[in-house]
Amino acid sequence: MNDIKELIGTLMRVVAGSEISENDVSDLDFEADGELLIALNAAYIQLLEFVHDRDLRLADYNVDVREREALQETLNKIVELCRDTSR
């Protein structure tokens, strides 16, 4: 579960306005099953896209906001799935 917490922490930092590097994303490692694994993989890909779109996001505030909102939605889904699996 610690590996998932690292991914969640990274998502929380980005949603709160931080920038991250590709190394930050590539250092993330996680294991899960089912829907949670799908959501974690989606978050990982979104984080990579976020990093690669840095110049575009810095040039266009609306793009930055949309990408961070999408990451927030993914974060919400991961938290919900984690709650469901811990019950």
Q: Which of 5, 67, 4, 79 has its CA nearest to residue 41?
A: 4
pLDDT more than 70, % of the chain: 97
Domain residues of the chain, as ranges? 2-85
Whether 85 has a pLDDT exceeding 90, the answer reads no
Check pLDDT > 70 for residue 47: yes
Please name the residue that has the structure tokens 């919900």.
Answer: 80
- pTM, to two decimals: 0.92
DSSP string, 18-68: ----HHHHHT------HHHHHHHHHHHHHHHHHHHTHHHHHH-HHHHHHHH
Q: What is the mean pLDDT of residues 43-68?
A: 98
Average pLDDT across the chain, whole number:
94
Terminal C-alpha separation, the chain? 15
Q: Is the pLDDT of residue 87 over 70?
A: no
